[in-house]
Structure 1
């Protein structure tokens, strides 16, 4: 939901937070530029809803913040509509919509088509054949003919087209009732972009299918390694024994994945990809009247067809708890799930509110009674909404020594309080006020607007946009009695699904076996006539805007502290930061002290009262600590600036030691550390840190178990009381001018006569890779994950431009060398990338990292494939120009605003830049050549020693295979984590 800035602000300032009369939001119809549209009065986004003659919905909202346009092509179909014998089909189709048409993605469509027809027929034969030997023979034919057909195909021409436009975030996703295609383009490229999108949906060709099919196999196998995915599937199947929400997964069954039908996919496309089932959402910098004309001209060729919407028989009530146990290696957790009504219903809105009464991150029942009192490792609640039904979910994870069943009892206990109305009715007003604050903060975000409109289109809620705009006003009208009645109606002690995610081996996992695939021809560097035509179309220039730190930011002093301010001329929100140039490398207690503060009281306020006080004034505070910085952030409405800052200062200065709270925190820290050892992402993060710095590294230089056990409450309280004695800068983004802000902050923030010196910093020396080494950690998984790590030369600002273009060329995006080779041509991985990384400070070196996540039985091939690219750079002038153009257009359309100006300035200081360095990069692009990228690869990457980081199951891979790479060191979890 989005709201008018002034309107939302007025509501926030209203003590009673009363809603405006319903007739403030009325549907109207108007005409402009020869087109009729509908809109809702007082819609802050001023959204226009058009319906083209062919039934296609076009939804437009303007935002001139930056010269870009966010695009969503939303199709009201997903895995709900998959045929029962071809689950996963909608998702397959989404992948294939990137493969081109009979005009692009092909060198010669007339010659390519006969081979694709043969492949279509062979897949039908393959799916109907049961004999394994015969299936192998047929797949060999598919592989052979696909190889011939690939000589006429051009892989990833769509991505080339988008790169040429300067598009960002090229992506798509499929879910149960939606398939959505996403782009973010420069506003000067709209005409070319719409021509490409219109062509994309005119006659998509399903080429290069068997390598893309292998990528989907990989995606399926990654899901088998993801305990969260398994819990989600168990939840959906339990709540929806009839509806396809629970009966068909978006990724599909293994059996159906192994027997795809291109004919079935084509039939699905023809059935559901019709204009009256599709919506174009555009949010950004454009003229609305001109845009609708362009959209209609582009898509008028599409013809409407009747579409039968998926309808399931109503689900029968759940009359007894359904309990499911899910096993896997990750940390234990549990959830209680209730089936709730459709998105468009009033009760769904009330249940949304109810979920916030339980859990809003600050002052909900879970927040105060469970999390604040540390009765579990963590708990939360929320409403997940679909078109036909919703899901009310309560989640919890156990603390040390706690059973999942005990967590379940805790959650049920808080739900009972909600059902009995044991909460303050003022909580409803506070929830609405904080929700409006969140919306106010996101008003200028085109992506947020597009996402919300896309969701409304998918759920058939565009016709109820008046209710969307008035959503929080309507929520404010809900009484405590109504909320309690609705909660009792849907959430009782019998009608839920209870899922326990336990540690253990999942004996049911059966991975999708990799077929034999011969690498295909991608025809890199070649272009179809359509692409050449598109590239030849000139577009107007967008002039880049550089920051002038002397004008865009105020640098001054408040006593002995540096002050950096940027004035907010848009709304009445403020952000205040105190930043210290010290972090965990200076003091290992800092992050623990920051966590401890939320559980402490003062002489005036209990910990619970503090949380409620901040929530009631729609303000927030947070202390975050990383390796080298600690930042205090206080945010909210400027009207409440004095209250928020004063309250925080009082808490920090007067918080009292609480040994019981510390004992509970210690226990939860120990549990979190144990949980981290079960998380494969954390394990890989630890291996990469080991590779970069050696056995003693930033990742494992944490407090030991003994140090945590011996920690006293006074130690942490002293950290908090003394924090402001250390040197820090004060940063402000808000409505006040610099002088007015300094007057206010001087009154609220007391500075010492002189700052204390920071504790001595522990420095970590980057490792020098002189020979290949392999670090291995065992993890129970179907997949294997490999990262290549190498520290390189010291930072040089003059290398930034070639580094950025090299990364676009080599390892970033679907058109890069790495993606095209590892995934598109060789089908060795679903996820792969490579990047030459720029340090955050001038004192640190550049470093190279590459990554492949693949099936364990493809690991050796994947390593070989990446090593070939690290050794020899494939050269393509076309790919280089696209990489260079993409970076150039990113610079031209980037607008650094608000508090990001301060962040940009500080980053420039850390790197030793004078002024906005993007200006220098932009100028350097004009002389950059492909030879510069080749030289960088040769000098910094090729022929170098790397540390290979491997996370995999020793039951799925052979460690002896890894010894051919270099010395293998098996790193235990204790070595990796340091505890």
Structure 2
């Protein structure tokens, strides 16, 4: 019985691997791309297995593109762009608009007074806050909550969401194929006529999110502190949500300026995957999005992080179990060494057969879990990260030494061809799984077009990684896994009378 199960699983894996290889080869023929006069890039793939479609829009602007006085804006705008337009989310925009202006005028006065710090006029500040609350209360009567969500839900839409990272911001939806025009009407209206209503209310929501999910969450706080320690110059070191003081000084005026500059068709990549015909989709998108004016092209980030001159260590005390994070600076996506790091990540920390899982979790039982990944972004030089949760009574220090020993082994011992082939199979298996859904393919198309410069990164990926040799892995391990290039973060459990690692 067990042999039959193993053979069945092996056969399934083989089918998926072949599907991945064939899929990558055929993707070049299946993707139809069209760029409109205003710079909007549209990527389409026909899939007629079900009468549904996934539509993703990625703006090539994220928190890495914020100036020092704009930190947190990209994430806050992700929230705000669900609030509606001049026609959606409001009962009467003509009556609402003057109140929105009064809110902003009052908020600007309040922010200016708050900026004085200890010299602020407390009575004046209290009066301005009360006036702001009054205008916000009056504006509430015109707001229709969650109209975008309700429209999509009533028409069979699902998975309506958005996410913001260092490198970009994405809005996504899956819906019946015959409702694609509804999507075009809603999303083009949001790109043309967004209204940042309830701005200061939502800013307070984000500040509470920051307090609850970061400041009060030891694991998240460790990660945030770790990344900030890793980057002294490059904006990758700043949290996407922004620091508390960053969020507090954001205004609707700043947000509208940022929005107008960057959230425009020339900075957008659209992917429509599913039961479609490109000959129908192109004129549809042209009709709804073609008259939107381009904005300012999102600039490259010229800042380069200087090489570290020694190990950096951060420690955080918290009411939580110990954690360990180790990072090494590395190259960005698309570089020769980045492909090697993909294999190293699989060898060390991806899945139950990885070296670190076998050694630290199963054999030595030093940790309850271990993983590897790239962070905090991909478009610019980033970090190769190893994460572990120590298993009591073992300490973070013990786990750290065990991890470093595995890295030394990678430097000194060539990876066997058998292990290398297993890792290649695993990478292809995961890629087949991700591309198996309309949404997964739409995500890959928009993401790689944005951060790698072309969605064709997917079609050339396998040809690049199969050329990697054990010697390449040793070279990269020796070059990057050094003490002076290392950042270590530990979460130390607070105990009565002291701390325990």
**Does the alignment reach a TM-score above 0.5?**
yes
Q: Distance in 2 between matches of 1:234 and 1:45?
A: 45
Which residue among 367, 384, 391 is the counterpart of 2:383? 391
Q: Is the 8 A contact 2:333 2:452 kept in 1?
A: no
Which residue among 27, 41, 45 is the counterpart of 1:57? 41
Q: Is the 8 A contact 1:80 1:310 kept in 2?
A: no
Deviation at 1:114, TM superposition (A): 1.1
Scaled by the length of structure 1, the TM-score of the pair is 0.47
- What is aligned with 1:489? 479
Deviation at 1:472, TM superposition (A): 2.4
The 5-angstrom pairing of residues 402-801 of structure 1 reads 402-462=394-454, 465-504=455-494
- What is aligned with 1:361? 351
Spell out, residue by residue over 1:691-748, the C-alpha distance to the aligned partner (whole angstroms, 9 max, x if none): xxxxxxxxxxxxxxxxxxxxxxxxxxxxxxxxxxxxxxxxxxxxxxxxxxxxxxxxxx
Unmatched 5+ stretches in structure 1 = 1-7, 14-18, 26-39, 506-979
Deviation at 1:312, TM superposition (A): 3.6
Please state whether the residue corresponding to 1:43 is helix, strand or coil. helix
- What is aligned with 1:186? 176
Q: Distance in 2 between matches of 1:244 and 1:477?
A: 33
What do you get for the CA RMSD once the two structures are aligned?
Answer: 2.5
Which residue among 76, 93, 116 is the counterpart of 1:109? 93
Structure of higher CA gyration radius: 1
Q: Is the 8 A contact 2:54 2:439 kept in 1?
A: yes
Q: Distance in 1 between matches of 2:226 and 2:361?
A: 24
- What is aligned with 2:319? 329
Q: Distance in 2 between matches of 1:365 and 1:249?
A: 31
Deviation at 1:190, TM superposition (A): 0.8
Relative distance call for 1:500 and 1:82 in structure 2 (3 A) is same
- What is aligned with 1:350? 340
Deviation at 1:45, TM superposition (A): 7.9
Spell out, residue by residue over 1:496-555, the C-alpha distance to the aligned partner (whole angstroms, 9 max, x if none): 1100011128xxxxxxxxxxxxxxxxxxxxxxxxxxxxxxxxxxxxxxxxxxxxxxxxxx
Q: Distance in 1 between matches of 2:345 and 2:329?
A: 13
Deviation at 1:334, TM superposition (A): 0.4
Please state whether the residue corresponding to 1:372 is helix, strand or coil. helix
Deviation at 1:253, TM superposition (A): 2.0
Deviation at 1:421, TM superposition (A): 2.4
Q: Is the 8 A contact 1:376 1:396 kept in 2?
A: no
Spell out, residue by residue over 1:77-104, the C-alpha distance to the aligned partner (whole angstroms, 9 max, x if none): 1212223123211122111111111222
- What is aligned with 1:757? none
- What is aligned with 1:380? 371
Deviation at 1:390, TM superposition (A): 2.5
- What is aligned with 1:124? 108
The 5-angstrom pairing of residues 926-941 of structure 1 reads none
- Tell me if 1:291 matches 2:281: yes
- Tell me if 1:165 matches 2:155: yes
Q: Distance in 2 between matches of 1:306 and 1:211?
A: 28
Q: Distance in 2 between matches of 1:135 and 1:278?
A: 40
Please state whether the residue corresponding to 1:473 is helix, strand or coil. helix
Relative distance call for 1:301 and 1:486 in structure 2 (3 A) is same
- Tell me if 1:235 matches 2:219: no
Scaled by the length of structure 2, the TM-score of the pair is 0.89
Q: Distance in 1 between matches of 2:103 and 2:16?
A: 62
Q: Distance in 2 between matches of 1:467 and 1:111?
A: 49
Q: Is the 8 A contact 1:359 1:365 kept in 2?
A: yes
Q: Is the 8 A contact 1:143 1:210 kept in 2?
A: no
- What is aligned with 1:69? 53
Q: Distance in 2 between matches of 1:310 and 1:226?
A: 33
Which residue among 281, 297, 303 is the counterpart of 2:293? 303
Spell out, residue by residue over 1:371-395, the C-alpha distance to the aligned partner (whole angstroms, 9 max, x if none): 3313412333233451002321112
Relative distance call for 1:133 and 1:92 in structure 2 (3 A) is farther
Q: Is the 8 A contact 2:328 2:480 kept in 1?
A: yes
Deviation at 1:205, TM superposition (A): 1.0
Q: Distance in 2 between matches of 1:286 and 1:44?
A: 17
Q: Distance in 2 between matches of 1:75 and 1:338?
A: 29
Q: Distance in 1 between matches of 2:258 and 2:281?
A: 30
Relative distance call for 1:111 and 1:472 in structure 2 (3 A) is same
- What is aligned with 1:90? 74
- Tell me if 1:254 matches 2:254: no
- What is aligned with 1:688? none
Q: Distance in 2 between matches of 1:134 and 1:328?
A: 39
Please state whether the residue corresponding to 1:53 is helix, strand or coil. coil
Relative distance call for 1:422 and 1:375 in structure 2 (3 A) is farther
Please state whether the residue corresponding to 1:343 is helix, strand or coil. coil
Q: Distance in 2 between matches of 1:146 and 1:12?
A: 56
Q: Distance in 2 between matches of 1:73 and 1:232?
A: 28
- What is aligned with 1:776? none
Spell out, residue by residue over 1:875-914, the C-alpha distance to the aligned partner (whole angstroms, 9 max, x if none): xxxxxxxxxxxxxxxxxxxxxxxxxxxxxxxxxxxxxxxx
- Tell me if 1:204 matches 2:194: yes
Relative distance call for 1:233 and 1:53 in structure 2 (3 A) is same
User: Aligned residue pairs: how many?
Assistant: 475
Which residue among 385, 389, 392 is the counterpart of 1:400? 392
Q: Distance in 2 between matches of 1:207 and 1:445?
A: 35
Q: Distance in 2 between matches of 1:149 and 1:245?
A: 37
Higher relative contact order (CA 8 A, sep 6+): 2
Unmatched 5+ stretches in structure 2 = 1-12, 115-119, 496-501
Please state whether the residue corresponding to 2:306 is helix, strand or coil. coil
Q: Distance in 1 between matches of 2:177 and 2:29?
A: 18
